[in-house]
């Protein structure tokens, strides 16, 4: 059976077509443009198909089910954190974003041991997991939220991105300088704190957010579709033989 994984984030929907447990093709689509989403023609010819949806935007799930019903029928499953096959050693496990759990599932598979996962999106998460399970993490504003809040506060009429100034020669340069140097600085500070406590943990970077400052972030491996890879693992484990 062919597997399609759908990773729904606040900004983007990532859809992966899996063959032999690996992503053979992935597409990225803006979440707020979901009404225009079309399933690639080649995927329509793949039968039978099982579709797994991991979403942090529940209101789009019914429409996604409709989009995939033609090729998957009733073989569509909403994947929750408890479905991911990793112990959730946190308070209120039902409230955790499934993408964060899937990130850690895939990361542990890559490293075979404890991991720190940096995910840069609408928000930035830096999570920790080990053979004991998903142990939690931190959340802070992503680059787009940072710039939106500061530009609104500064009442800049044309919030077009500017070159980061150091020092900035006007308000816009100063704001983008803060993002350019502040975001990686904040991430690295969190990673350093983790590494003091878990010195052998591997560090993986992922996400669909702004990556222009990637060279200033401390990490071991970058994986563009980490949550999607984790989703594929879950789907093959649970439904690959159906």
Which domain CATH number covers 190?
A: 3.30.420.40
With bands split at pLDDT 50, 70 and 90, how would you rate the model's confidence at 210? low
pLDDT for the residue 7: 95
User: What are 50-85's pLDDT values in tens digits?
Assistant: 999 999 999 999 999 998 988 888 899 999 999 999
User: What are 149-162's pLDDT values in tens digits?
Assistant: 776 665 565 556 66
Q: Determine the average pLDDT of the residues in 86-107.
A: 95
Q: Determine the average pLDDT of the residues in 94-115.
A: 93
Examine residue 168 and state whether it is found in any structural domain, yes or no.
no
Distance from C-alpha of 64 to C-alpha of 85, rounded to nearest angstrom: 24
Highest average pLDDT, of 14-28, 61-75, 149-163, 184-198, comes from 184-198
User: 19-39 burial string, b = 16+ CB within 10 Å, else e?
Assistant: eeeebeebeebebeebeebeb
Token pair belonging to 126: 């830096």
Cα separation values, 206 from 23, 180, 229, Å: 16, 18, 11
Q: Where are the alpha helices (DSSP H) in the chain?
A: 41-44, 61-72, 98-111, 143-154, 171-197, 226-239
Residues constituting the chain: 242
Judged by DSSP in three states, 113 sits in coil
Residue 100 region, left (φ>0) first, then alpha (ψ -120 to 50), else beta? alpha
The percent of residues in the chain predicted with pLDDT above 90, rounded, is: 55
Examine residue 237 and state whether it is found in any structural domain, yes or no.
no
Q: Is 239 exposed, middle or buried (0-12, 13-18, 19+ CB in 10 A)?
A: middle
The answer to whether residues 121 and 18 belong to one domain is no
Q: Which of 5-9, 94-98, 144-148, 193-197 has the lowest mean pLDDT?
A: 144-148
Residues contacting 147, CB < 8 A, separation 6+:
159, 161, 175, 176, 179
With bands split at pLDDT 50, 70 and 90, how would you rate the model's confidence at 132? very high
Q: Is the pLDDT of residue 242 over 60?
A: no
Q: Which own/partner contact pairs does 91-98 have at CB distance under 8 Å and 24+ positions apart?
A: 96/134, 97/56, 97/125, 98/54, 98/55, 98/56
Token pair belonging to 153: 């506060």
Task: With beta carbons less than 8 A apart as the criterion, state whether 51 and 4 touch.
Answer: yes
Structural domains counted in the chain = 2
The answer to whether residues 123 and 180 belong to one domain is yes
The answer to whether residues 133 and 93 belong to one domain is yes
Domain range for residue 218? 82-143+174-228
Among the options 7, 32, 70, 99, which is catalytic?
99
220 is catalytic: no
With bands split at pLDDT 50, 70 and 90, how would you rate the model's confidence at 165? low
Q: Determine the average pLDDT of the residues in 25-40.
A: 87
Among candidate residues 51, 80, 109, the one where a domain is terminated: 80
Task: With beta carbons less than 8 A apart as the criterion, state whether 218 and 99 touch.
Answer: no
> What's the pTM value of the predicted model, to 2 decimals?
0.90
Task: With beta carbons less than 8 A apart as the criterion, state whether 199 and 14 touch.
Answer: no
The answer to whether residues 113 and 219 belong to one domain is yes
């Amino acid at each position: 059976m062919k597997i399609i994984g759908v990773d729904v984030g606040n900004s983007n929907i990532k859809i992966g077509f899996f063959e032999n447990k690996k992503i053979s093709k992935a597409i990225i689509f803006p979440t707020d443009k979901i009404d225009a989403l079309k399933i690639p023609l080649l995927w329509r010819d793949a039968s039978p198909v099982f579709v797994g949806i991991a979403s942090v935007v529940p209101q789009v799930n019914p429409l996604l089910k409709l989009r995939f019903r033609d090729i998957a029928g009733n073989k569509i499953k909403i994947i929750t954190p408890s479905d991911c096959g990793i112990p959730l050693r946190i308070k209120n496990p039902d409230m955790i974003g499934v993408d964060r759990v899937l990130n850690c599932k895939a990361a542990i598979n890559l490293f075979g041991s404890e991991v720190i996962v940096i995910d840069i999106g609408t928000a930035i998460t830096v999570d920790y997991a080990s053979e004991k399970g998903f142990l939690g993490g931190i959340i802070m504003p992503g680059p787009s939220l940072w710039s939106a809040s500061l530009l609104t506060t500064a009442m800049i009429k044309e919030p077009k991105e500017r070159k980061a100034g150091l020092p900035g020669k006007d308000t816009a340069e100063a704001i983008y300088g803060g993002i350019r140097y502040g975001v990686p600085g904040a991430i690295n500070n969190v990673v350093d704190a983790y590494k003091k406590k878990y010195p052998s943990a591997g560090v993986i970077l992922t996400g669909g957010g702004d990556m222009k400052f990637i060279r200033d972030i401390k990490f071991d491996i970058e994986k563009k579709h980490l949550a999607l890879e984790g989703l594929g693992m879950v789907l093959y484990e649970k439904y690959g033989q159906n």
